Structures are given as structure tokens and as C-alpha cells.
A and B are shown apart, each in its own frame.
Chain A
Amino acid sequence: MNDLTIKTELAEKILTGFIRTELHRVGFKKALLGVSGGIDSALSLYLSAKALGPENVLALRMPYKTSSPDTLEDAQTMIDDLGVQSMTVEITEMVDPLINHYKDMTKLRAGNIMARMRMIVLYDQSVAFNGLVMGTSNKTEILLGYSTVFGDSAAAIQPIGDLYKTQVRQLAKAMGVPETVINKAPSADLWQGQTDEGELGFTYADVDQLLYLLIDQRFSPEACIEKGFEKTFVERVIKLVRQNHYKRVMPPIAKLSQRTVGYDFLYLRDWGT
């Protein structure tokens, strides 16, 4: 087993500084995010409140009619605990017309529609609230591509995107996220009974160990198998990482001119700030 233990005080210091600096330098004081009641958005909420002050953070609850009521309550507990601003926008009446429009609608399509509707609500509120949308994706799901492109992956900055799920749990605990939120089975809550680990077919604890070797430590697949990981598991994870890379990069622009965005027109996003 690799030790994925992190010094949580140090992570908190770097990440709150990141949120504060990256917002302030582009003239924003406020942030908003979707709070599902799950651990990733919970940690992002606690980090944002700490970085910007609770009065500058808006937590949006965006339930669908099948969303778990427990989860909504957990979100409320955290909102009350932190004293952040909050708003509940039910998305059922916005997404159902599209979902019901097609007879052959699948769970996957409906889930994507919900994730993208939440993105629309968040980006609309970002103008009304004059804040930036905080991402809530962790390193495990970014690598596995376990997200809806232009849906939950849409954000201005990604504070917890370099923390594996295992590490998100550590930091969440250290920052006072309620135990019920930390201990519940991770779920996108797009349909009843859905869990990440059920859908992926492996646990975060296991895949984090493997990803740490493959990505952080640059182990070859063969070396991971030698270390004791099942060959089929290693192959499946590598395939997921590779197949979903398109979700991690900007869409490629076909190069024609002498100077093209993305290839030889290179600036940080913080250009001039």
C-alpha cells in the first residue's frame, strides 16, 4: 500500500490561497458552487468559505425529483454550519420536458441532461451573484473521466483537482465536513441507487492506489501488475484514463495560419493580472 496521507493544514493553506488569489486577481470577491450533499462539493464549499468568507459564497442546491432527501438535508446542515449564502433551484421542471421528449431516453442521457442543466443554473447565477463557479472535481474522477463534459466538469477553477478521493476524505475530515457526508457512498445521485463505485466496478481506495503508481510514480502497467494489481483491473483503468482524455483538454483547433490558439499562441490564463 502506498501512503497517500497528506498534511491537511498545508493542503488547506495552499488551496485557500489559490481560491483567494485566483478570484481576486481577476476582480472577483465571490464564488458559487453546486452543493449536492456529497463529499467533493462539501470540501469545495468549506475551502471556499474559509478562503473568501462565508458571506461571499453561494451554495446552490439543485435537486431533481428523484434526488435523495438525506442528501439535501446534509447540504442544509453544511450551509447552516458555515453560514454561507444558499439557494435551492429544483431542476425537475427544466429537464423533464427534454427527458420526456424522447421515447428512447436512457439513464446516461438523462443524467447528462441533469448535469448540464445544473451547469446552466450555476453559470446564470454566477452573473446574478457576480461570482465565479468553483469546480468540485477530484483527481480520481478527472483521471477516470467520471464526469459529464460541459456539465459538472464546467468551472472557473478546480481547487481539489489534484487530490485523490482518498485525500479528499482526509482534508474534508480535517476541515470539519460532517461525518455523515464523509462516510456516505459516493454517488452522482443522477438516479436512485446510483453509486460511483457500483458503476465503476471498483473502489476508490483501490483505484487511488493504482492511479498513484501509474500517474504520480510513473510505474509501467507491468510494474503495477508485479506489485499485485489484477491485470484486468490495470488494463481497464488505463483504458478509462486514455479514452477520457478528451474531457481534460480543450477541443483541438485545426491549424492553418502561422499562429494558432493552443499551439503557438501561449499565455497563462492569469495573463496581465
Chain B
Amino acid sequence: MKIKIGLAQFNTKLGDNQANLNKHLALIEQAQGQSADLLIFPELSLTGYALQDLASASALRPHQDDPIFEDLLKASKQLDLMVGFVHEDRRHRFYIASAYLSGGKILHIHDKVYLPTYGMFDEGRFFAPGDSVQAFNTRFGRVGMLICEDFWHASSPYLLWLDGADILLFQSASPGRGLNEKPRLSSSEWVEHTNRAYAGMFTNFVAHANRVGYEDGLNFWGGSTIYDPNGDLVVRAPDFEESLTVAEIDLDQLSRTRARLPLLRDERIQFVQRELERILGEK
């Protein structure tokens, strides 16, 4: 089975869901024109990244009656969507979240589990951490979603892999940093190495949408990618440029790669569990 995945990268208007929704709808239309089956937007694509005190005012409750989600759900009847937004729960906690929309329905919401609160990052000050990662079924097979810092912790994609995800969908708003003599920033290199490693070690597809643009002095470097189960690059979007990049992936590659390299077959979950229990018991 072959499917076409689109990676959208654009600059957002800070704290303005409606303005950013309009950009989503324009990109969705473009992606449809290129027969995309699934379109992935970056982290907090509906709001922008460094929201600080705008977090609560930008928050959405994802359901049919929300005017922002109403338009996105309608669009999801044509192609599947992964969008980023601020999620407000019933108890008024605010999360950095991803929603997967398909056939006019919300299939899954992931609340970001790891909130970087160090150095230039201050997410833990403004947001609540999610506390679960779960794979879910789509018309393309079982999928898992993670947001930026979530996949700087190897345990998150590992759990999704064990939970049956064959396609990992990552979204981020990764600030560019680490200018040196190399042609790309060290942040870009690091993220790309990591994504490639996950694809190869989990024999999975890894699709990553990263935003572009600026917020105050922060730049976002784009360079969205798809890696296949061999760890080979399928496509890379341009660095720093707004773009829609659509590429076809062949899901049958999962079977071919895993016949050659049965890492999933040989994974010993009970052994991991036993060792984790020992480590936790000793602490």
C-alpha cells in the first residue's frame, strides 16, 4: 500500500488561532491538489510556539462545535490531518497537544509528555504535562504521535513501537541553535540523526514536521523529513522556507525490512519489564 504524506512548514501568527487556521486551510487545499492522504503540521501550528501568558487565551477544546475544529474536521473528510494546538481539559489544565483528524472525526489527541523547562525553554511554567503515549489505528495502519521534546526521550517512541505503531508522526517547533562551520545548525543535525536512528532501530516510518519563521529572536529551521524503515531519507523539506512537501511512502517496505532485520520480532518486552522493575525496586 502506497500513501502520500505531506509535511507543512510555515510561520505562525502568535496566539491567533483564526489566522493560523486560514493558513492550514490553504495548505490543506494545496496538499489535496497533490493527492496527499495525510498532512502533518508542526507543533502548536494553530497558535505559534512561545505563547507564555497567551497559553490560556489560545486554548481550544477539540470537538465538533469548536469553530476552529469544525473547519479542520470538515477538511479531514478529504485527507487525514495532524495539527498542533493548545488543549484545555475539563479541569482547565493547558497542554501542548496534537490532534489526529480523519473522516470528520478526532481519532486521537496526544498531550505533550516532556515539557522542556531549561535553558531557552520554559514550557513547564505555562503548560501541564501529558502522562501517556498511545498508538492508535488509522486507515493506513497503526500510528503514534509525539511532540518535539517527547522524542528527545527514547522511551516515548519505544513505547509507541511496542504499542504497535509502524508510522511515527513527529511535530516540532524547534528553535535553531548551534551555528558553527558546518552547513546546517547543530540542532538540525541532532534532530535528523535522532529521527533516522528511530526509523532504523524500530524499522518504522518516521515523519517529522518542523516549523519555520521567527518569534522575537528565535528562528525555526524547518527541514521536515520522512525516513523509511531502512533508515533511508525519503524526502527533506527545505531549511527555513515555508513549504509543502509531499512524498509517497510504500508501506510494504515494513515487511521487506523486517524480513531482513527482525528487530521487532526479537524485542524482549518481558526482559525490559523485569529489568525496569528491578531498577525501580532498587530506587
Q: What residues of chain A have their CB less than 8 Å away from a CB belonging to chain B?
A: 3, 5-7, 9-11, 13-14, 17-18, 21-22, 157-158, 162, 265-273
Would A271 and B214 count as touching, CB distance under 8 A?
Answer: no
Give the shortest distance, in Å, between B107 (CB) and chain A (any CB): 32
Contact of A271 among B54, B176, B217 (CB under 8 A): B54
Question: B180: which of A6, A14, A269, A270 is its contact (CB, 8 Å)?
Answer: A6
| A14, closest chain B residue (CB) | B219
Closest to B178 in A: A216
Chain A residue nearest in CB terms to B180: A6
Select the residue from A5, A22, A265, A267 with max chain B CB neighbours within 10 A: A267
Query: Do residues B179 and A272 form an inter-chain contact, with CB atoms below 8 A?
Result: no
Q: Are A271 and B181 in contact (CB under 8 A)?
A: no
* Shortest Cβ distance from residue A216 to the other chain B in the assembled complex, whole angstroms: 10
Would you call B214 and A10 a contact (CB within 8 A)?
Answer: no
Pick from A3, A10, A158, A271: contact of B179, CB under 8 Å: A10
B281 within 8 A of A: no
Q: Are B185 and A10 in contact (CB under 8 A)?
A: yes
Cβ of B198 under 8 Å from chain A: no
Residues of B within 8 A of A3 (CB): 180-181
- Given A18-B219, A267-B52, decide whether A7 and B13 contact each other with a Cβ distance below 8 A: no
Which residues of B are found within 8 Å of A267, using beta-carbon distances?
52-54
Nearest B residue to A22, CB-CB? B214
Given the known interface contacts A13-B240, A21-B11, A273-B13, the answer about A268 and B216 at a Cβ–Cβ threshold of 8 Å is yes
Asked if A270 meets B183 with Cβ closer than 8 Å, knowing A17-B240, A265-B53, the reply is: no
Evaluate contact between B184 and A10: CB separation under 8 angstroms. Answer: yes
Is the pair A7, B180 in contact by a Cβ cutoff of 8 Å? yes
User: Are B52 and A268 in touch, CB under 8 angstroms?
Assistant: yes
Measured CA separation A17–B213 after assembly (Å): 8
Smallest Cβ distance from B190 to chain A, in angstroms? 15
CA distance A3 to B180 in the complex (A): 8
Measured CB to CB, the nearest residue on chain A to B213 is A21
With A18-B219, A271-B14 known, 6 other A-B pairs at CB within 8 A are A3-B180, A7-B181, A11-B179, A14-B179, A162-B217, A270-B14
Q: Is B215 an interface position by the 8 A CB rule?
A: yes
Please state if B184 and A18 are interface contacts (CB–CB under 8 Å).
no
Q: What is the size category of the interface that chain B forms with chain A?
A: 20 to 34
Specify the chain A residue showing the minimal Cβ separation from B55. A266
Are A269 and B13 also in contact (CB < 8 A) when A10-B184, A10-B185, A11-B179 are?
no
Q: Is B182 an interface residue (CB 8 A)?
A: yes
Alpha-carbon distance A177/B14, docked complex (angstroms):
36
30 A-B pairs within 8 Å (CB atoms) are namely A3-B180, A3-B181, A5-B180, A6-B179, A6-B181, A7-B180, A7-B183, A9-B183, A10-B179, A11-B179, A14-B219, A17-B214, A17-B240, A18-B217, A18-B219, A21-B214, A22-B216, A157-B217, A266-B52, A267-B52, A267-B53, A268-B14, A268-B50, A268-B215, A268-B216, A271-B15, A271-B54, A272-B15, A272-B16, A273-B14
Interface residues of B (CB under 8 A from A): 11, 13-16, 50, 52-54, 176, 179-185, 213-217, 219, 239-240
**What does DSSP make chain B's interface, helix, strand, loop or mixed?**
loop
Which residues from B are CB-within-8-Å of A269?
Answer: 216
A51 to chain B, nearest CB (A): 12
Which A residue sits closest to B184, measured CB to CB? A10
Docked CA distance A10–B179 (Å): 8
Residues of A within 8 A of B216 (CB): 22, 268-270
Pair B214/A18 contact, Cβ less than 8 Å: yes
Structural contact, A270 and B215, CB atoms closer than 8 A: yes
CA–CA, A2 and B230, complex, Å: 37
In the complex, residue of chain B having the shortest beta-carbon distance to the beta carbon of A269: B216
Inside 8 A of B214's CB, which chain A residues have their CB? 17-18, 21-22, 270
Interface centre among B16, B180, B185 (most CB of A within 10 A): B180
User: Please, which residues of chain B bring their CB within 8 A of the CB of A5?
Assistant: 180-181
The 8 closest A-B pairs by CB, nearest first: A5-B181, A266-B52, A21-B214, A268-B216, A266-B53, A14-B219, A268-B50, A6-B179
A265 CB to nearest B CB, Å: 7
Indicate the member of A266, A268, A273 with the most B CB atoms within 10 Å: A268
For B239, the chain A residues whose CB sits under 8 A away are: 13
Chain B nearest CB from A157 CB (Å) reads: 8
Contact of A272 among B13, B52, B181 (CB under 8 A): B13
How far, in whole Å, are A166 and B13 apart by their CA atoms in the complex? 35
User: How far does the alpha carbon of A158 sit from the alpha carbon of B176 in the complex, in Å?
Assistant: 17
Q: Enumerate chain A residues within 8 angstroms of B54, measured Cβ to Cβ.
A: 267, 271
> Is the CB–CB distance between B183 and A272 below 8 Å?
no
